[in-house]
Structure 1
Amino acid sequence: MFSYKFPCGDFQTLTTMTETGITFDPPVYEQRYCAAIQILEDSRWKDHIKKVVEFGCAEMRFFQLMRRIETIENILLVDIDEPLLRKNSTSVNPLVSDYIRHRLGPLNVRILQGSVADSSEELRDTDAVVALELIEHVYDDVLSKIPSNVFGFMQPKLVVFSTPNSDYNVIFTRFNPLLPNGFRHDDHKFEWTREEFKTWCLSIVEKYPNYMFSLLGVGNPPKDIESVGHVSQLAVFVRKDFLEMQLESSLVTTPKLDEESTPYKLIHSVDYPFHKDTRTEKEKIWTEVQIELQRFKRMANFSENEQDPFQDTYKMSIEDLLERLHYVGATKDVLVELLQENNIKVEDEHVVMEDSDYSDEESQWFDPCDLSERLSQEAVLIDQDQEEEECWDLSPET
């Protein structure tokens, strides 16, 4: 095991117990989603998580958060229930706002009908696996195959499982009896105590020693009853090379498919629009040079011209300009070459800009920030218009 804390700190949640029942603010399912997103966005591995598989995606509510992670390029949504997948397949399509405020990189989303127990070609090269409130819905024969498929065949860098904590059920039964099957949901095949869940996790890392795990939870217990733990318990499995540890064994380069596995069935696939910058590196730097020179002139007009109303020349040091361009990787040699190519005068390590007879609005030195800001504001308004399409069902299973 290893110690893990949420990157953004503990959740600020409220659990309230009254005479008639218990409430969670925010709802426990939202807490689970936020926990999984924080884990995916952990700076230690975020840039290495390009392909994510969510098993048990159901109505695809979690996807609406996951799709906003810019570094993810492929999302596979997998569930055994084909009619449910077809019913909700259009919910993964891009919104109008996605065509205005493009992603910075590509995103392909596929909805697949299949079992978490079956290996399939589509699962190769997966970086992260998420399975929220899934394992308690499967029978023993499927449960026993999950570790070999996830940790043996897929070998991801990161895995997140969540499942109900049955230790918490003593609080629920104070208000209402459990269902006839003895669980919180009529499709649950089991509900584990914290010790049972830990035992299952330990069995996985014993068989697959390239992984370490940490146990967390969401849905705080009421005050003075902390001994029952959280409503929902989470396990975070991380491959040792992402914990700066040596792998116990080499990864299997081309793991074999289980001959008994049923191939996955593609239900829906969609590519999100994204901004593809086709400029060369020099063209990108030159655009930024123009912006910085124009900004310098504007600032000079506000300050120096008050002292010298007849000033018609502006000088900006090469050193100052380079410092402002560090984020695009500009070097002095490239900068000087660009200035020469574009007939910009350089004297004594300074860029010399002559005042022009035309206004800023007509100037070749443009500043696209104003346009960018307007587009962002329009995108926010469109997102607000689409909010109803993206809102979640308020009563998923606890």
Structure 2
Amino acid sequence: MKLKLIGTFTLLSYVNQLGNVLINFLFIGMLTPLMLGDIALAKIWMRSVDYGHLGLRHSIDRYTPIWDIHSNSTLLFLTLLITSISFIIISICALLFLDDMHLVFSFLLWGYALSVATVLKNFNRALSQDKEMMIVYTFCPVILTISQALVLFLFGFDSFLSFTIVISLVSVFYLINRNRFDMKYSMKSSLLILSKVKSSSFLLLVNSIILFFGFAVDRIFLASFSDKTVLGLYSIALFAFSLMQIVPTTVSQFFFPDVTKKTVRTNKIFYPREFTVIAIPTITTLILVYCIIPFGLEFINKEYLVLVEPTRMVTFAVLPYVFIPIFIQVFNALDKRKELILVSLLSIVIYTFLLFITQYYVSDFLGAFIMLKIFYSYFLCFLYLVFLIYINRTGIKVFYKCGEETH
């Protein structure tokens, strides 16, 4: 893996992160906690679009590094087609049941553009087409996010929503047109590819939905049993953690092709060098964010200074994500997807149960939900690690000695 490429990509992820920070800062400064609660719910719909691929995007990570060009081209076409159909269905459902159509539709289109870009980025990354991957990532999300932040700052929230609709459509059309030669379609080959990946894709989709529920369940509880103002304050406290997740999840993606190949070939399931490379920018970001949180909240609104400690505390929940993306990729490469679902489901059941009983025994919803968010991140990582140790005890080699060769 080229360290220069990782460094460039990490730099782009920081620029994208800066754009997201600016957008969230401006949201917090411009909007009331009640409106921030509406945005938190809109983001749930936005995130749901990211699962519209029905698991096929995960099959790109699993199979593209080892398949032929024709099969890969068909898989890419099917993934984008199903993602688009799912987006249409989700949009219809959202617009039928929610009131603020302008807000929801702009966030849905935003999520669709990011989903299409992620599919194309993952496809090029899996083929080691690093230049094309960087172009896709630079255009969407980096340029998209920075331009959104500028429009929000210069022209206000309503203009931001309209601009998001336009720039999202432009991004989708540009990226699909740019990568159109990588997509091939025939009914026979499509059915053959679907037959190969349907089982693994479905299981990975189920796991993704479980993890998405982990993202959304706390917000759903607050919206149902508290009020949107508390939900808005909770979203403010979580915004640094949510943005910091971009760093480990982005950097870890560079290692997915190598991790897949090595795990399939050798059953290796623990990657200390890769974890170290992911940890360095993650910990650096954590230290920087921890230090600037008080100044950021004071700059936005002095009334939010009461959120300094909860916001600082929850930033430590990002550390398990140094390991979690690689662990998931290892489960996938080992074809241990049912076990992966079991572990993810166990963690979310316990997390949901704790959220449920908290509302009856705790008056400080905000503080309690922050602590449970931290617990969930570490508990999920812990369960993944425990299962990997179990694999090791049943005969699969986990730890490689320093300098040991893998073939």
Q: What TM-score do you get using the length of structure 1 for normalisation?
A: 0.25
Q: Whose relative contact order is higher, 1 or 2, with alpha carbons under 8 Å and at least 6 apart?
A: 2
Q: What TM-score do you get using the length of structure 2 for normalisation?
A: 0.25
Structure number with the higher helix fraction is: 2
Structure number with the higher strand fraction is: 1
